[in-house]
Amino acid sequence: MLSYRHSFHAGNPADVIKHLVLAEVLSYMTRKDKPFDYIDTHSGAGFFELASSDAQKTQEFEQGIGRLMHYEGENEAILRYIDMVKSFNDKALAFYPGSPKVAEQYLRKQDKGWFFELHPQDLPLLQKNTAHKRSLRVKGEDGFKGLLGLVPPLSRRAVVLMDPPYEIKSDYQKAVKTIVKAHKSFTSGTYMIWYPVVDRDRIEQMEAELIASGVRNIQLFELATSADTDERGMTASGMIVINPPYVLKNIMDAVLPELVKELADDDGFFRSVELVAE
């Protein structure tokens, strides 16, 4: 099932929290000169034009990065994220970087990027958007399986982002099981699972499975732009991070209240939780 295309959703509030966390994790990895691998299991096209028919059809970016571009606060992580997005634009907001382009900002000549995508329209776009660097490898393969084939990496340092479209309900459990299996092969990697809150029960099940897995050092960061509802549609999204940088919890404790203030309705909220201690 390959109907999902991120071009309809680029720059929305879910992207804001996903890419802000990703940027902070990758920035931390560059504190050491040692090389690392970045593995993106569901990459999409990698770069989005906000004037495109897809983005204009939903205009979800207006509720996310569109609002945040007017941020007048002082939170350094938010300002770093905004500056990163601005680096892809002139004066007006016209383009939004997907996770491959966000990652590229932090990958150095000694690092490698691995990008998986199966959608027949997005794969050639991803190849085009990463063709200028030999260290960026695109694979038209299943990212769940692809991840397991790459761990442990030769560098012995890695960041993994897993953000499937969750078109298939089993993807919630598949994401957890794949990450846990990868962790058994490579315990020191930093693993991130992005998730949408459409049905809160599914997220609670993911959390319970991770807690019961035996994996240590798990944190969760969630931005809800409105209260949970039984009606159709995403009300929140978050990032579950295994082996996070030690600075990440404090950063997100300061970031999330600001994002709620900037992007959420009156009944919006955030979660910053240590699911499992180190």
Q: Say which residue the tokens 């992207």 belong to.
A: 15
The first and second tokens of residue 96, run together, are 């939004």
Find the Cα–Cα–Cα–Cα dihedral 22, 24, 29, 31, rounded to 10°.
160
Select from 62, 67, 69, 108 the least CA-distant residue to 87.
Answer: 69
Residues belonging to the binding site for S-adenosyl-L-methionine are 19, 42, 99, 117, 142-143, 163
Residues belonging to the binding site are 19, 42, 99, 117, 142-143, 163
Q: Counting Cβ atoms within 10 Å, is residue 181 exposed (0-12), middle (13-18) or buried (19+)? A: middle
Helix pair angle (248-263, 76-86), 10° resolution: 70
CB 52 within 8 A of CB 237: no
User: CB 156: neighbour CB atoms within 10 A?
Assistant: 13
Query: Among this protein's residues, is 228 annotated catalytic?
Result: no
Task: Identify the DSSP state of 154.
Answer: T
Find the Cα–Cα–Cα–Cα dihedral 268, 50, 102, 81, rounded to 10°.
-50
Among the listed residues 37, 163, 201, 253, the single catalytic one is 163
Catalytic residues, by residue number, are 163
